[in-house]
Amino acid sequence: MQKARIGSIGWCFGGGKSLQLGIHNPEVDAAVIYYGQLVNDPEVLKGISGAVLRQFGADDRHPSSEQVAACQAGLKAAGKGYEICSYGAASHAFANPTGTRYNKDAADRAWERTITFLSGHQKGPVDE
C-alpha cells in the first residue's frame, strides 16, 4: 500500500496554522511557516512528526528574532528536524507581492527554499 506525502505551507496567520497542523497531525511530513505565530514549548513541539521550515524577515517584530530563537530552542530540545531561514532587510509579510513590505529578493529566495525543502521531504508516495 502506498502512502501519499503531505505538506503544509502558510503565511502570517496561516503560518501559525501550518505549524499547528504539523504538531497535531502525525501524517504531515513537512510544514513551512512564513512569519507565523510560533510555539516554543518542547513538550508541545514533540507532537511534530515531520520536518519544519521556518522563514522570517530579520527586521520582523511579529515574530521577533527573540521569539524565533525560542522556537528554535524548543524544536532542538524536542529533537525535531527543522530549518530556520532569516532574510536581512525583510520585514513581516515580505513575501506578499500586494503589500507595502514586499521584498522581491527575499521572497524569491524564500520560495526557492520552500520548493527545495518540500521536494526533499515529499519525494512522492512511499510503500508501507
Superfamily name with CATH number, domain 2-127: Alpha/Beta hydrolase fold, catalytic domain (3.40.50.1820)
Q: Is 56 helix (H, G, I), strand (E, B) or coil?
A: strand
Identity of the residue numbered 122: Q
Residue 75 confidence (pLDDT): 93
- Domain coordinates in residue numbering, the chain: 2-127
* Residue among 76, 78, 97, 94 at smallest CA distance from 86: 94
pLDDT digits over 1-11, tens only?
556 789 999 99
Q: Supply the pTM of this predicted model.
A: 0.88
Give yes or no for a contact between 81 and 31, defined as CB atoms under 8 angstroms apart.
no
For 33, which DSSP code?
E
